[in-house]
């Protein structure tokens, strides 16, 4: 089974489309949060994810938008967008556990430890702690920096952002996890 992973789209549907067009054939699609931004909902982004059958979690931006911290903008969205479209992200969980081909995984936007908002960067000291988690794969987003890191038996994957790279490069990125091969590949795509 192959899982395509996108993250931190931040309401830029063109970049999402580019990632999905470029992506090799996959069996499942995951979105690791921040599909939209706290002050910018995007119907087209959500529709593309829905059509692709993506399993989405909330990032900090969805958490702010739908969690009540931003009531004026949420009211504006409720007036403008169809309820079922908002519900896709409003009802999304903040983490997903998955199990396939004998592998166990967790997807969570920023960090699996309270306060769930740390930025786990490629050389972060916290990476060593992932080895203690009861998973084979932990999928993160949030940093906009693509990463594949082996911590003991745990592979930590961040697909980066398909639209807003923050690694000093001018390319977006996404990831494909191949559970049969136990391999992960990061793919780079042009951005505008
Ligand atoms: Mn984020």
User: Is residue 169's pLDDT more than 80?
Assistant: no
The CATH number of whichever domain residue 149 belongs to comes to 3.60.21.10
* pLDDT in the model for residue 170: 86
**CB contact at 8 A, 57 and 33:** yes
**How many Å lie between the centroid of ligand 1 and the Cα of residue 9?**
10
Distance 38 CA to ligand 1 centre (A): 10
Distance 140 CA to ligand 1 centre (A): 10
**pLDDT in the model for residue 83:** 97
Annotate 102-130 with DSSP letters as a single string.
TEEEEEESS-SSTTS-----TT-GGGGGG
- Residue 41 Cα to ligand 1 midpoint, Å, equals 14
The DSSP line for 34-91 is: -SSBTTB--HHHHHHHHHTT-EE---HHHHHHHTTS-HHHHHHHHHHS-HHHHHHHHT
Dist. CA 33 → ligand 1 center (Å): 7
Residue 77 pLDDT more than 90? yes
Ligand 1 centroid to Cα of residue 67, in Å, is 15
Q: What percent of the chain has pLDDT over 90?
A: 95
Distance CA 20, CA 82 (A): 24
Taking all residues of the chain, what is their mean pLDDT, rounded to a whole number?
97
Band (pLDDT 50/70/90 cuts) for residue 157 is: very high
Q: Let me know: does 186 contact 159? Beta carbons within 8 Å.
A: yes
pLDDT score at 167: 78
Instruction: Quote the ligand 1 centre to 166 CA distance (angstroms).
Output: 12
Average pLDDT over residues 117-132: 97
Instruction: With residue 157 as reference, give the H or E element that holds it.
Output: strand 154-158
Domain span including residue 179: 2-190
Q: What pLDDT is attached to residue 168?
A: 79
Question: Measured in angstroms, how far is the CA atom of residue 110 from the centroid of ligand 1?
Answer: 7
69: CB partners within 8 A, 6+ apart: 38, 63
Q: Which residues of 69-87 are buried (b: 16+ CB within 10 A; e: fewer)?
A: ebeeebeebeeeeeeebbe
Into how many domains does the chain fold? Answer: 1
Residue 63 CA to ligand 1 centre (angstroms) = 10
Measure 61 CA to ligand 1 centroid, in angstroms.
6
How remote is the CA of residue 179 from the centroid of ligand 1, in Å? 26
Establish whether the linkage from the previous residue to 8 is cis, with ω within 30° of 0: no
């Amino acid at each position: 089974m192959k899982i395509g992973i996108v993250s931190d789209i931040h309401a830029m549907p063109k970049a999402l489309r580019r990632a999905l067009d470029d992506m090799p054939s996959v069996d499942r699609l995951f979105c690791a949060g921040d599909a939209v931004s706290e002050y910018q909902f995007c119907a087209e982004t959500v529709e593309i994810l829905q059509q692709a059958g993506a399993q989405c979690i909330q990032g900090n931006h969805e958490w702010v938008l739908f969690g009540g911290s931003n009531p004026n903008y949420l009211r504006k969205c409720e007036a403008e967008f169809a309820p079922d479209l908002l519900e896709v992200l409003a009802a999304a969980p903040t983490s997903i556990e998955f199990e396939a081909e004998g592998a166990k995984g967790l997807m969570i936007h920023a960090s699996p430890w309270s306060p769930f908002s740390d930025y786990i960067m490629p050389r972060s000291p916290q990476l060593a702690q992932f080895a203690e988690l009861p998973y084979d794969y932990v999928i993160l987003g949030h940093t906009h920096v693509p990463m594949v890191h082996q911590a003991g038996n745990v592979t930590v994957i961040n697909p980066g952002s398909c639209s807003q790279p923050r690694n000093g490069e001018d390319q977006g990125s996404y990831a494909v996890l191949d559970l049969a091969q136990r391999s992960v590949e990061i793919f780079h795509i042009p951005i505008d």
